[in-house]
Amino acid sequence: MVREADFVKALDLERILSTDAKELPIEVSNSNRPGMQFADYWDFFAYERPQLLGKVEMTYLSQMDESTRRARLKKYFSYPLPCIIISRGYPCFDEMRVYAAAHNVPIYSTKRETTDFELDMIRFLQNYLAPRETRHGVLVSVYGTGMLITGNSGVGKSEAALELVKRGHQLVADDVVDIRRVGDNRLIGESPELVRHFMEIRGVGIIDIATMYGVGAIINSKTIEMRVHLELWQNGKEYDRLGMKENYCEILGVKIPSLLLPIQPGRNLAVVLEVSARNFRLKQMGYNAANELARRHMERLQKSENNDE
């Protein structure tokens, strides 16, 4: 469901026919242009989508005789339409107003061209209807990589993020990260508006990153590309030393690379996080240092075997 007021405000729509509904029954981000339905083809009718009428649809309706137009619109409005948007400022047909009022379907108008408006509406609905969840952690942008830092309370997530900010990177969210899935494999993280740009440092209290370090030190939202989980060093536990195996975690059905970093006194965590971000970018470009080292060892072994022969 989409709040009617949010829909109208975000897309700068004019209300032609209003209803008493506070929410629009829109559950998908795509739109439908009902040219085929006005031509009396109903087998594949995406009536659950916002109905967008542009130059083609309005011109086609205007060329019909009145009885045919009335019959097509009557059948059209027999479906549970969420809303109708008329683009390019075309006037609404009287029959359309009558049937829309009878079925409690709101009609809106925009002066924008149909395709441009449709793209903006799809983007708005994708963000608005995106699956969401909230996670405990810190989100920072390190060399342009959206890094979600997680771990138990007190492990040092905020302190690590503060050191990264001092080194020129950007804070997105501290302690609480709102995550939404945009598309099939993209996650966007941001901070709740109430605590945006604030950070809690134990022993110091609440600090305002934007005021303390400038607006260049913060960013409102960021694509989450990797997760780094911090935990206190556990003696006897085997930690990955080569990086040959790729580990992943799943958030809202999207798999992203995941690292486990053990924390112990004297370890420069900010530098390790920077290296993690750089290494992630190199892997995206097709270079894996662990694989390169393994390749060199194999070449050395093969040369040694050939010399023995």
pLDDT (tens digit, 9 = 90+) per residue, 176-201? 999 999 878 899 999 998 999 999 88
Could you tell me if 101 and 137 lie in one domain? Answer: no
Distance CA 224, CA 190 (A): 10
CA 239: distance to chain centroid? 32
Looking at residue 241, the DSSP 8-state letter turns out to be S
Of 196, 200, 166, 198, nearest to 273 by C-alpha is: 166
pLDDT of residue 60: 95
Number of separate domains in the chain: 2
Q: Which residues are catalytic?
A: 136, 157, 175, 241
Could you tell me if 154 and 21 lie in one domain? Answer: no
Of 128, 144, 175, the last residue of a domain is: 128
pLDDT of residue 266: 67
pLDDT of residue 308: 67
Could you tell me if 122 and 142 lie in one domain? Answer: no
CA 200: distance to chain centroid? 26
Distance CA 229, CA 232 (A): 10
Q: What integer is the mean pLDDT of 68-72?
A: 94
Residue length of the chain: 309
Residue 263 lies in a domain: yes
Residue 309 lies in a domain: no
Distance CA 20, CA 10 (A): 19
Starting at the earlier edge strand, list the strands of the sheet with 107-109: 14-17, 107-109, 84-86, 51-53
**CATH code of the domain covering residue 223:** 3.40.50.300
**CATH code of the domain covering residue 117:** 3.40.1390.20
Q: Domain containing 274: what range?
A: 132-291
pLDDT of residue 294: 82
Q: What integer is the mean pLDDT of 161-188?
A: 92
Whether the per-residue pLDDT at 99 is higher than 70: the answer is: yes
Q: What is the mean pLDDT of the chain?
A: 91
Could you tell me if 117 and 154 lie in one domain? Answer: no
Could you tell me if 122 and 137 lie in one domain? Answer: no
Of 128, 147, 172, the last residue of a domain is: 128
Could you tell me if 168 and 273 lie in one domain? Answer: yes
* Global confidence as pTM: 0.75
Could you tell me if 119 and 146 lie in one domain? Answer: no
